[in-house]
Amino acid sequence: MTGEIERNMGSGRGYVCPKCGFEFVAETGIGFMFPMVYAMTVEKAKKGELGEEIQNFFKEHKDGAIDAESVVLCCENCGHLTTDMDLTMYIPKEKKPEKSEYGRWSVAAPFEGADCVSLSDIEENYTKFAEYPHKCEKCGGRMKILRKDEDDDNDLDLVCPECGTPLEESGMLMMWD
């Protein structure tokens, strides 16, 4: 469960290219605003604002869930780096889990009755249906999600999209929630 707690917390880390000076800030996680962010993201998905694939997913799977956590994305074609929501789509393993009668704590919303699926709920009660097809804003290529290896204390292995040199941590670290 340690990895899930780390994934839920919001964090940011700065990176710099030692060769050309390119800088990138990787802001990941979600923090205590999760219930509100999750609800707003699902609403956008259902309206089609996040693309036809995820809109159709929610039409076909009314009890479906998504991962609304912020992740680092890297273009498989040009190497462009960015952060955005994961948006992987999940369906219940059996039936949609019941909401907790006791609720959960959040600064963003009272959790009793909040329609939100946490990462721990996903891990326990859902199966991956499909990954969201992130597209690169620079070249239109496919973006892949980069995650820190939870079994290793090393940070993300990022490569400069400008010159191909491995990025180094810049010493900037921020954490929230």
Q: For 11, list phi and psi in degrees, rounded to 5.
A: -150, 155
Q: What is the pLDDT of residues 70-101, one digit of tens each?
A: 999 999 999 999 999 999 999 999 866 665 54
pLDDT at residue 34, rounded to an integer: 81
pLDDT at residue 10, rounded to an integer: 72
Q: What is the pLDDT of residues 87-144, one digit of tens each?
A: 999 999 986 666 554 444 444 444 445 567 888 888 888 999 999 999 999 999 999 9
pLDDT at residue 3, rounded to an integer: 38
pLDDT at residue 48, rounded to an integer: 97
Q: CA torsion sign, 56 to 57 to 61 to 67?
A: negative
Kindly tell me if the per-residue pLDDT of 46 is higher than 80: yes
Q: What is the DSSP letter of 32?
A: G
Residue 5 lies in a domain: no
Question: Which tokens belong to 113?
Answer: 């009755």
Structural domain range at position 120:
32-150
Average pLDDT over residues 39-49: 95
- The structural domain count of the chain equals 1
Length of the chain: 177
Q: CA-to-CA distance for 70 and 147, rounded, in angstroms?
A: 11
Residue 160 lies in a domain: no
